[in-house]
Amino acid sequence: MPAQNGGAKTGDANLENDANEPQQGSAKSHSSELDNFTPLPGILPAEADDTEIVRVRMQRGALGALGLPVNEERAGEWIQVDLLVGNDGLPQAVRLRQ
């Protein structure tokens, strides 16, 4: 599904629940993988164990379909984003790739 983002920078929301707990070894925890995701409007966050991160390439303008602000001047640009997808297959949150 092509997505749209008009280049508007979204705020960095942190969905991490236990940010102050020490990490065991060098393995990256699932909660640290959820850093910098912006929850989509109208979506209640799912349990972290019930989600998957899916990287997609879309047009900036498609982010508007997800309820995010879009800069119409840059809507045709292609970007990479990570979607946090619930076990129902619906996106819960988005993270813009740098």
Residue 20 domain-assigned? no
Residue pointed to by tokens 């813009």: 96
Q: Is residue 26 part of a domain?
A: no
Query: Among residues 68, 84, 88, which one has the least CA distance to residue 15?
Result: 84
- 65: which 2 tokens? 């379909």
Residues 49-82 have pLDDT tens digits of 889 999 999 999 999 999 999 999 999 999 999 9
Q: What is the pTM of this model?
A: 0.63
* Assigned domain for 24 exists: no
End-to-end CA distance of the chain: 21
Separation CA 51–CA 8 (nearest Å): 25
Owning domain of residue 91: 38-96
- Asked whether residue 21 is assigned to any structural domain, the reply reads no
In a domain, 32, yes or no: no
74 in Cβ contact with 60 (< 8 Å): yes
pLDDT, position 31: 60
- Is residue 16 assigned to a domain? no
For residue 17, what are the CA distances in angstroms to 24, 36, 37, 95? 16, 13, 13, 17
- DSSP 8-class letter at 62: B
Number of compact structural domains in the chain:
1
